Amino acid sequence: MTTVAKKFIMALSGLALVGFVITHLLGNLTLYSHTDEPFNAYAFKLHSFGSLLLVAEVGLVAIFLTHIVYGLTAKKTSLSARPKGYRVWRSKGGETPSNISSRNMAISGSILLAFVLLHVWQFRFGPAIEAGYVTTMHGEQARDLHRLIVETFKNPAWVAVYVAAMLFLGLHLRHGFWSAFQSAGLTRHNTTVKLRIFGGLLAAALTVGFLFIPVYIYFAF
């Protein structure tokens, strides 16, 4: 497969993950409520999709794996082309500026992978109804996911872990978003700057939106 094709797949999978992260934040905004009802109702609704949710989850795992595999391949290609790395990083300006985000995509990506594994184990596969995390939704027993989240974020160590991870998410998205469009060949000279600004704003909005959830819960509950 050509490098261009690999970059294209990485860009498309990255944009799909951005779509997931946006919808994940929109759902999680219900955590800014001062009661458990809105978030548990959202989670209950999501799980009521049953096997459809399972299909979406399998698809999501496939997209994550694709992005990671092609990301590592791209890193390997760039390392073998320039094994010693540059000693001094200087932006040439123009369309391919080098900054802290662009130089550290593999590092921020690896940290995010570690975060996502920990996070999914903690919440998706964490204690459920049988462990006593139970509430009632429309007369049915439902998982009290809100209680698990509040208990987690009452611990300042978890708040610190999440705040740090969200800063890496911001760094990764800041460069990843507009660079995906460039890799996919979807930029023109006059759209690159706009995309970079939009990508920066999107990264900042997602970072702030996620980052204040643990902080809010720590102080408000």
User: Residue 9: which of 59, 73, 52, 79 has the closest Cα?
Assistant: 73
162: contact with ligand HEM by CB under 6 A: yes
Which backbone phi and psi does 143 adopt, to 5 degrees?
-70, 135
User: Residue 115: which of 147, 163, 72, 148 has the closest Cα?
Assistant: 163
Smaller CB distance to ligand HEM: residue 176 or 183? 176
How many residues touch ligand HEM (CB under 6 A)? 20
How far, in Å, CA of 62 to CA of 68, rounded? 10
Contact 101, 171 (CB under 8 A): yes
Q: Contact with ligand HEM (CB under 6 A): which of 55, 120, 186, 204?
A: 120
- 44 exposed, middle or buried (CB, 10 Å; 0-12, 13-18, 19+)? middle
Q: Which of residues 172-211 bind ligand HEM (CB under 6 A)?
A: 210
116: contact with ligand HEM by CB under 6 A: yes
14: contact with ligand HEM by CB under 6 A: no
142: contact with ligand HEM by CB under 6 A: no
Smaller CB distance to ligand HEM: residue 171 or 187? 171
147: contact with ligand HEM by CB under 6 A: no
Q: Contact with ligand HEM (CB under 6 A): which of 28, 66, 73, 104?
A: 28
Q: How far is CA 15 from CA 10, 55, 147, 204, 210, in A?
A: 9, 19, 32, 16, 18
List residues near ligand HEM by CB under 6 A.
21, 24, 28, 31, 43, 46, 57, 112, 116, 119-120, 123-124, 145, 149, 162, 169, 210, 213-214
